[in-house]
Amino acid sequence: MAAKPSAPQQQKLLAVLIDADNASAAMVEGLFEEIAKFGVASVKRIYGDWTQPNLGKWKQVLLDHSIQPIQQFAYTRGKNATDSALIIDAMDLLYTRRFDGFCLVSSDSDFTRLAARLREEGLTVYGFGEEKTPAPFVSACDKFIYTEILRADAAQAVDEPPANGDKAKAPAPAEPAKPAAKKKPQKVPVDFIAKLIDDIDDEDGWVELGVLGQNISKLRPAFDARLYGFKKLSDLIKGQAKRFELQVRGSSATGGEALYVRNRKTEK
């Protein structure tokens, strides 16, 4: 008797809250493409004082991406009232119990406690910020994505010719991503990965690649294969063939095929 097809997994509902004072409009395309990997952005809000000229570039992309601007005047010079407004809204959304996770877009460490509080309620927190983001905020998130990666991806997409060969120019983005000096990829933390494999492998030394990725994220939320010049974790592992080996085998979790990895045995 043929097995019944499994029901499609329901996508997670996410609330996206953007701190306009500490995020760049240049990465907005890449931002929502990245968020789509995790779930549906059912709420999209951005906070700032929209009477100020420094947020002009954000104004150009709000309609295109259906982002709701939240006006917050600065009550006192030098104090950021935007942070408080975002935090209050986040707690209000939390208590609706409608969301599976939150996307906090900011490089400001003031949101560290908010991220921790949301996780205490069992929700997944995805952080998005620049590489200058303080470590406590990064660690408080389940997953943290550096927006420099998103800007680089967006710039590459702009440079690529249309797939159908049409020479007509695509419409220019409101603020083109600026891949100033192309950063050299970071050194792959092979020792960290190898030790983690040793910690969670089976009797034969194998670990399912997805399980390895989950454990890496738990220990290093900002780990991203793109930081090291690879598109995804499997490519990174393949690029370190001297240290790791891959194998395709059946997955007990999905019933299909999955990639497994183990540390390559060295000859003594």
Are the beta carbons of 151 and 27 closer than 8 angstroms? Answer: yes
Q: What six digits make up the tokens of 219?
A: 């220990």
For 4-30, what is the mean pLDDT? Answer: 83
Each residue's pLDDT tens digit, 101-116: 999 999 999 999 999 9
For 34-59, what is the mean pLDDT? Answer: 92
Q: What is the pLDDT of residue 249?
A: 83
Each residue's pLDDT tens digit, 151-203: 765 555 444 454 454 444 444 444 444 444 567 889 999 999 999 999 999 99
- The residues, any chain, with a CB within 8 Å of residue 225's CB and separated by 6 or more, are 231, 232, 233, 235, 236
Each residue's pLDDT tens digit, 210-266: 999 999 999 999 999 999 999 999 999 999 999 999 999 876 666 678 999 999 986
What structural domains and CATH numbers belong to the chain? 13-155 (3.40.50.1010), 190-263 (3.30.420.610)
Candidates 127, 169, 97, 122; CA nearest to 18 is 127
Q: What is the pLDDT of residue 155?
A: 54
Task: Return the axis-axis angle of helices 28-35 and 147-159, rounded to nearest 10°.
Answer: 110
Determine how β-strand 207-208 pairs with β-strand 124-129.
unpaired
Q: Return the bridge partners of 105, or none.
A: 18, 128
Q: How far apart are CA 153 and CA 31, in angstroms?
A: 10
Q: In which band, very low, low, confident or very high, does the pLDDT at 7 lie, cut at 50, 70 and 90? A: very low
Q: Burial-class residue 90 by CB neighbours within 10 Å (0-12, 13-18, 19+).
A: buried
Q: What six digits make up the tokens of 72?
A: 């917050």
Q: What is the pLDDT of residue 13?
A: 97
Q: What six digits make up the tokens of 77?
A: 């010079």
The Cα diameter of the chain in Å comes to 72
What is the DSSP code string of the chain? -PPPPPPPPPPPEEEEEEEGGGS-GGGHHHHHHHHTTT-EEEEEEEEE-TTSGGGHHHHHHHTTTTPEEEE---SSTT--HHHHHHHHHHHHHHTTT--SEEEEE---GGGHHHHHHHHHTT-EEEEEE-TTS-HHHHHHSSEEEEHHHHHHHHHHHHHSPPTT---SPPPPPSS-----SPPPPPPP-HHHHHHHHHHH--TTS-EEHHHHHHHHHHH-TT--GGGGT-SSHHHHHHTTTTTEEEEEEE-TTTSSEEEEEEEPPPP-
Q: How far apart are CA 73 and CA 82, in angstroms?
A: 8
What is the torsion angle, in degrees rounded to the nearest 10, for the CA atoms of residue 86, residue 87, residue 89 and residue 92? Answer: 170
Q: What rounded mean pLDDT belongs to the chain?
A: 85
Q: Return the bridge partners of 262, or none.
A: 245
Q: How far apart are CA 83 and CA 18, in angstroms?
A: 10
